[in-house]
Structure 1
Amino acid sequence: MPEAPTAAAGAARFGVPLSGRGCYNARMANVVGIIMAGGQGSRLYPLTKVRSKPAVPIAGRFRLIDISISNCIHSNVRSIFVLTQFASESLHRHIFTTYRFDNFHRDFITLLSAQQTLENRNWYQGTADAVRQNLTFVKDAGAHVLVLAGDHLYRMDYRKFLESHEATGADISVAVTPVRAEQAPEFGVMKVDGRGRITEFSEKPKAAADVDRMRVSEDIFKKFGVPDEGRTHLASMGVYLFNQNVLRDLLAHTDYRDFGREVIPHAIGERLVFGHFFDGYWEDIGTIPSFFEAHMDLTRPLPKFDFYDEDRPIFTQARFLPGSKILASEVENAILCEGSIVNRSRIRDSIVGIRSRIGDNCRLERTVIMGADYFESREDQARNRENGVPDVGVGRDC
């Protein structure tokens, strides 16, 4: 079994300035990040036909996994494991070619695919089981373990998460965000007391009585500095911070497979489990409609999620593509990614992904063009015509 570098050695920079909170940066060196990236994402089909959900392109040039990894890097979490399983080749290739730390420090991003061993012949059976099967790779006995979803769109400073975790003396901290009552059936929702300790948890409550029972009072929102703005419930973001000894004990003495459905509800009665309030933009892009609407928001003048934040950029693969070429076209409220070519067309409220070709006299409105993996040459296009195959991209008069 390969030995992973220690978390305490992972405090180097990734070419971006961090804030001046040196004590927090040093403490984050003792945090190990585990990103759950093995999900099939069946509700996003056909985008997940040949790749896992975290590998799905977003905003024309990024991958969903880039969000969680970038959050880790900016928060000085530099010891990162990515757990993969379903259709992982595309995701592995992206991470391997994108995230390479320098040779003078022991920062790392390690891919851990589901595998058969002498002790275990099973695939990952859920989020908790995936972590259970890979805890042997976490070598620092005193490190905190930060468990993240690899398919959410948000920007979060995990240093503040650790700060509140230590201030409350929590065994486990769960990042929570306010949602409206009609959204509660889509999430795991919880109630907290005046200190922020989680007292009750319900996974995707459906009955009206169950939804009503999980309401959080306005006083709780005020106490933690979060305006309720018509929001009545607290939803789990699928972001957890564990004291490592607690995590090991919970997974060793139960056969629970999932954090949200089993581990966290069980731990509430036995451990100190606190909520960390987060009131920024957060979107679980789990369905085609939510994926589409998140992209439409990106085309607005002031989107809810800002990919243009110079202090906390989202990292992705450096492709060295040429700039976009626009020929006699009209473009309004759109994002045109590098390598795209637009020919005498009109584009409005749309995103055109990398290497996309838009033919003559096209009209794109509220459209997401995912992009292409390669440019077709003239010879390729000639063969397409001979074989009756359309060219990659959008043809003319569409």
Structure 2
Amino acid sequence: LASMGNYVFNTDALIREVKGDADKKDSAHDFGKSIVTNMWPQGRTYVYDFSRNEVPGQEEKERGYWRDVGSIEAYWRACMDLVDVTPIFSLYNEEWPIRTVYDFYPPAKFVWSDEVTKRMGIATDSLVSEGCIISGGHINRSILSPNVRINSFSYVTESIIFNNSNIGRYAKIRRAIIDKNVKIAPHVTIGYDLEADRKRFFVSESGIVVIPKGTVVEA
């Protein structure tokens, strides 16, 4: 039994339980841990058997896929699931499309193909959104949100980069989550020396570096 974070309440019951939980000093004040577990012995409480969930067009291996993304590690792992060659959770099921808001950017662009200098715009095992420009850099097993710029000779692997961020020339980034509007200066290295990273950023227990929104990272 797991709490998936989706709940439907009668209004009066929800108000009663939230107020009651607020008065408990030893409570974690968490829906899954505190409120739901307190409710089920007291009255009618129902659960949904997600293992029997039917999604049109879904392959058998995808049945029951779910991830709790309540921690940095869990969120990063869920994102890395999407860049596998045959992901366990497919974004390409035409019978069950995933709706989202689209930005009006042009298609992603990959430029430079100089094999002599290794200035090549390359993406391998990655998801690249609209408006991104991979200008002579290489991304691997990464997810780029719209309007991200990857400049020449840089290398990004196992990372998630949010909107409007810019990765400078010769930068090296590994196992990082980079929020929106971040500017990484040329020659910056992130994710290769975690002790140095901890002096400037948050680093999770497993070594995932998190860079906040709007940060300018100098070399």
Question: TM-score w.r.t. structure 1 length?
Answer: 0.31
Determine whether 1:331 maps to 2:94.
no
Q: Distance in 2 between matches of 1:252 and 1:329?
A: 53
Equivalent residue for 2:48? 276
Determine whether 1:367 maps to 2:176.
yes
Would the alpha carbon gap of residues 364 and 249 (structure 1) be closer, same or farther in structure 2, given more than 3 Å must change?
closer
* C-alpha displacement of 1:356: 1.9
Would the alpha carbon gap of residues 308 and 371 (structure 1) be closer, same or farther in structure 2, given more than 3 Å must change?
farther
Determine whether 1:340 maps to 2:148.
yes
Q: Distance in 2 between matches of 1:266 and 1:331?
A: 48
* C-alpha displacement of 1:263: 5.4
Alignment: residue pair count: 141
* C-alpha displacement of 1:369: 2.4
Q: Which residue identity is paired with 2:187?
A: D
CA deviations on 1:345-394 (whole Å, 9 max, x unpaired) are 2222223322221111122222332232xxxxxxxxxxxxxxxxxxx421
Alignment of 1:72-221 (within 5 A): none
| Structure 2: gaps (5+ residues) | 22-28, 52-63, 107-130, 189-219
* C-alpha displacement of 1:277: 1.4
| Structure 1: gaps (5+ residues) | 1-233, 373-391
* C-alpha displacement of 1:332: 2.5
Partner SS state of residue 87, structure 2: coil
Write 1 or 2 for the structure with the bigger share of helix: 1
Larger Rg: 1
Would the alpha carbon gap of residues 241 and 397 (structure 1) be closer, same or farther in structure 2, given more than 3 Å must change?
same
Determine whether 1:240 maps to 2:7.
yes
Alignment of 1:59-70 (within 5 A): none
Question: TM-score w.r.t. structure 2 length?
Answer: 0.52
Partner SS state of residue 239, structure 1: coil
Determine whether 1:314 maps to 2:101.
no
Identical counterparts, % of pairs? 33
Q: Which residue identity is paired with 1:313?
A: P
* C-alpha displacement of 1:337: 3.0
Would the alpha carbon gap of residues 253 and 350 (structure 1) be closer, same or farther in structure 2, given more than 3 Å must change?
closer
Q: Distance in 1 between matches of 2:169 and 2:6?
A: 46
Q: Distance in 2 between matches of 1:282 and 1:353?
A: 23
Indicate the RMSD between aligned Cα atoms, in angstroms.
2.9
Would the alpha carbon gap of residues 341 and 240 (structure 1) be closer, same or farther in structure 2, given more than 3 Å must change?
closer
* C-alpha displacement of 1:326: 1.6
* C-alpha displacement of 1:276: 1.7
Q: Which residue identity is paired with 1:266?
A: M
CA deviations on 1:306-346 (whole Å, 9 max, x unpaired) are 34444333333332123321222223323333312211122
Q: Distance in 2 between matches of 1:291 and 1:263?
A: 24
Q: Distance in 1 between matches of 2:78 and 2:15?
A: 39
Q: Which residue identity is paired with 1:276?
A: Y
